């Protein structure tokens, strides 16, 4: 699979599945499916349930699409995507480094992205600044699932150790 990550060292050593980080990926529509697919592969490798993986993929894709549409006024810029498997949650952060461009006022078919993200994730935080916008989404582990997922992640790393 082609990587959407351009330049810089690979952030994920082989076998390490608790973190995925793509820094300065091109914020362009053609790169988003690759980034989404990488997130799905990562989520599956961490042992997330299918329903969480699907919600994570759709919410992250929407956050990335918002960056493409609203951050760079028709041009491309950098996009950072980070996914982290924590003890009690999985967290995905999408950051652009542009300036927010609002959707056209008369287009009522728009403005659905952030409400969709908020419905899909257990927790959502959007931080807009002059240096860009960050969308942080979290999915909490049901009781007992965090331990199972951590065990699966650790076992996966142990199985790849040479």
Query: Mean pLDDT of residues grouped by 10 in the chain (162 residues)?
Result: 40 62 93 96 93 97 92 86 94 93 61 91 94 95 55 48 44
> φ, ψ for residue 44 (rounded to 5)?
-65, -40
CA distance 77 to 42: 24
H/E stretch holding 126 reads: strand 123-129
| Alpha helices, H only, 25-125 | 32-45, 50-70, 113-120
Question: What is the model's pLDDT at position 126?
Answer: 95
User: What residues does each domain of the chain span?
Assistant: 19-101+114-152
> φ, ψ for residue 10 (rounded to 5)?
-65, 130
19-101+114-152 classified as CATH 2.30.42.10: no
Question: What is the model's pLDDT at position 5?
Answer: 43
Question: What is the model's pLDDT at position 2?
Answer: 41
Question: What is the model's pLDDT at position 109?
Answer: 60
Predicted TM-score (pTM) of the model is 0.76
Question: What is the model's pLDDT at position 10?
Answer: 40
Closest CA to 65 of 28, 95, 102: 28
Q: Which CA distances in Å does 148 have to 76, 101, 132, 141?
A: 40, 42, 36, 10
Residues in CB range of 140: below 8 A, 6 or more apart:
88, 89, 122, 123
């Amino acid at each position: 699979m082609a990587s959407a990550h351009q330049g810089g060292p690979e952030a994920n050593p082989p076998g390490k599945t608790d973190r995925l980080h793509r820094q300065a990926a091109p914020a362009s529509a053609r790169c988003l499916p690759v980034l989404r697919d990488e997130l799905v592969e990562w989520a599956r490798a961490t042992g997330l349930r299918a329903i969480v993986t699907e919600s994570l993929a759709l919410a992250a894709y929407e956050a990335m699409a918002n960056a493409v549409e609203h951050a760079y006024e028709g041009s491309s810029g950098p996009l950072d995507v980070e996914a982290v498997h924590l003890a009690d949650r999985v967290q995905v952060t999408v950051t652009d480094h542009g300036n927010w461009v609002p959707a056209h006022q008369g287009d009522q078919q728009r403005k659905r992205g952030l409400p969709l993200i908020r419905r899909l994730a257990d927790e959502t935080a959007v931080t807009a600044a002059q240096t860009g916008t960050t969308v942080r989404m979290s999915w909490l582990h049901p009781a007992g699932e965090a331990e199972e997922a951590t065990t699966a992640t650790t076992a996966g790393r142990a199985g790849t150790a040479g």
